Structure 1
Amino acid sequence: MISIFTCAQNAVNVSFHQDLKLLVFGDKIGNDAGTLNYIIRTKYEAREQKIGYFIHGLEYEKAMLKDQYSRFGGFTGFTFTTLFDSKNIHITPTIGAGSIHRTGKNMFSWSASLQIEYLISNRVRISALNQITQRTDLKLLYNDLQHRYSFFIGLEVNLFKIKKR
């Protein structure tokens, strides 16, 4: 097995993820298969420590639902690089906060996610993003505050490394 070892992160990455359920199956509330629901994330990876590195980032989610949905927020977490025998697998739990925009209103919302990445090369990773989001928009629309689980698949690309002077 070939292993890719990157010893000092200090990098900025961008990723694109699509909700697998909406893409393949749709949902039971009027959004057919092929519905786009994507998240674009920009992430700063701090210097690697003994078991991993801290991350901080911004994310934007857009869902092409019958009633347009978008969410903008920030997140922070820690990427573990030593949980498996392979340095190619990174596991990152994060927490975040942001704002959902729907029907002309902005509502505060929090999220928690677990990202599992596999490094294809030093610059490209495939990834699965498991996310729970507080859906305050549903409270506004239906008087029913819910926490929704989503499963996204995607790619992450290293834009550049920050060199220390």
Structure 2
Amino acid sequence: MYVPFNELPASARLWIYQANRPFTDAELVALEPALRKFAADWTSHGRTLAASAQILHRQFLVIGLNEAVADASGCSIDASVRFVRSIEEQLGLQLLDKSRLAFLAQEQLLLLDRRELRAAVTAGRVQATTLYFDNTISTVGQLRTAWPAPAASTWLARYFQPVVS
């Protein structure tokens, strides 16, 4: 059962898939009905799921599920990953690659390979206050209140600690 994303409770479970490039206007228009259909048709062991899916910041596919109605099973999660893979194939982009980190710096989205992070911090391109899209968050409430968040308030905090010798 499709639920408008803004009507999901703060406790709703969340999955974030980051694209390796921004979605184009044409892709966003084409994806809207597919996202709605996926959420409307998504089930778990025959039970209807109260779900939503949307694209945020032209870069992130976000799927939300109100588990108070019914939880996702392994099979239903597999179905969601198949849906994500179908979008990758259809649009020629990557959504399942977890090697890039996304930051918001001077109103621009900056994607960095994880291996580039330390050098970017040392060079000052990424600072403790730079907003980071922590795609490991797991609830809609976290999305609403702490996404993006200053890098130093996420798991990246260790990159901003003074080196003690």
TM class, shorter-length: under 0.3
Q: Looking at secondary structure, tell me which structure has more helix per residue.
A: 2
TM-score (structure 1 length as normaliser): 0.25
Q: For CA contacts below 8 A with separation 6 or more, give which structure has more relative contact order.
A: 2
